[in-house]
Amino acid sequence: MKAISILNQKGGCGKTSLSVLTSLALASSGKKVLAVDCDPQGGLSAFLTGTNDETPGLFDLLTGIKKIEEVIISVSRDNISFDLIRADYRLDSIASNADPYSMKRQFKSIEQYDFILFDNPPTVQGISRATSLFADEVFIPADVSMATLGPTLYTINALKDIEKKGKVVLVGYKEPKEEASGYMAEISRKFMEAINGYFAGNIPKTVTTARAISDPTIKWSDTKVDKLLSPILEILGVN
Ligand SMILES: Nc1ncnc2c1ncn2[C@@H]1O[C@H](COP(=O)(O)OP(=O)(O)O)[C@@H](O)[C@H]1O
Ligand SMILES: [Mg+2]
């Protein structure tokens, strides 16, 4: 079993979207996948189930109310299936005090998965730090904007404290032409230079991708988003 943590202190930079794409990519290549929503906002749960209900999930597991097998549900898209542990607002009261050793014990004890993927809230403390501590790989999605650069570098550095090397996945990066000037070209160059040595690859950012990720009723085969899945496996180097 391999544990993957999706981390960035920046909110809205693509963590949950990359979590959906990675889960689908791994599951579509035949791997047994468990996605764990660690964000009290419950974005991953909402994307994958189309609901935002308070149902048994990570809160119930971490507080000892339920056993792990009681909080796992199955989700699927276009015949690709994988498992999910949901989150909701109740997780907020315990997320900052999550115990990495107890979480590690819980998740390393389940043997039926090839991959367990943790979608973290926008912080490097608490539950995000806990999952990253015992993860085999930490991926740092980052949309290419000035507001994301600082938090991304902070995230890379915070991981050094726990002896992890995060890998940055840029979302919507386009290599600027040599002669290009202007704000976006500037930011893109600055970003790439700053994350030098931590860059893992980039994935496109389009309106259809956003819709396909967040709307469980959309057929991936209709949107061509399924073509994104194998490049993602390549970027993550986990196939
Ligand atoms: N690869 C992508 N393609 C298109 N839109 C994206 C992509 N990644 C993120 N987005 C959009 O950016 C916004 C924030 O993404 P999200 O994954 O929820 O970020 P986070 O989990 O880091 O807060 C969402 O509206 C989402 O649709
Ligand atoms: Mg999120």
Q: What is the pLDDT of residues 91-138, one digit of tens each?
A: 999 999 999 999 999 998 898 999 999 999 999 999 999 999 999 999
Ligand 2 center to 42 CA (angstroms): 8
Query: Which residue owns the Cα nearest ligand 1 atom 6?
Result: 210
Residue 50 in tokens: 């189309």
d(CA 16, CA 103): 20
| ∠ CA 85-164-100, rounded to 5° | 45
Residue 148 has a pLDDT of: 98
pLDDT digits (tens, 9 = 90+) for 191-232: 999 999 999 999 999 998 999 999 888 887 777 778 889 889
Q: Where are the beta strands (DSSP E) in 59-124?
A: 72-77, 80-85, 115-119
Q: Which pLDDT band holds residue 236 (cuts at 50, 70, 90)? A: confident
CATH for 2-224, options being 3.20.20.150, 3.20.20.80, 3.40.50.300, 3.40.640.10: 3.40.50.300
Residue 216 has a pLDDT of: 85
- The DSSP symbol for 176 reads P
Percent share of the chain, pLDDT over 90 = 86
Q: Categorise residue 229: left if φ over 0, alpha if ψ from -120 to 50, beta otherwise.
A: alpha
d(CA 16, CA 7): 10
Task: Quote the mean pLDDT of the chain.
Answer: 94
Residue 78 has a pLDDT of: 85
- Count the neighbouring beta carbons within 10 Å of the beta carbon of residue 186: 13
Residue 45 has pLDDT above 70, yes or no: yes
Q: Which pLDDT band holds residue 239 (cuts at 50, 70, 90)? A: low
With residue 194 as reference, give the H or E element that holds it: helix 183-194
| Nearest listed ligand to the Cα of residue 12 | 1
Residue 238 has pLDDT above 80, yes or no: no
Residue 178 in tokens: 């040599």
pLDDT digits (tens, 9 = 90+) for 208-218: 899 999 988 88
- pTM metric for this prediction: 0.97
Domain ranges of the chain: 2-224
Residue 72 has pLDDT above 90, yes or no: yes
Short-list 209, 200, 204, CA closest to 4:
200
The binding-site residues of ligand 1, defined as CB within 6 angstroms of any ligand atom, are 11-17, 43, 171, 203, 205-206, 209-210, 214
The best mutation among 8, 17, 223 to test binding of ligand 1, ranked by most ligand atoms within 8 Å of the C-beta, falls on 17
Residue 90 has a pLDDT of: 97
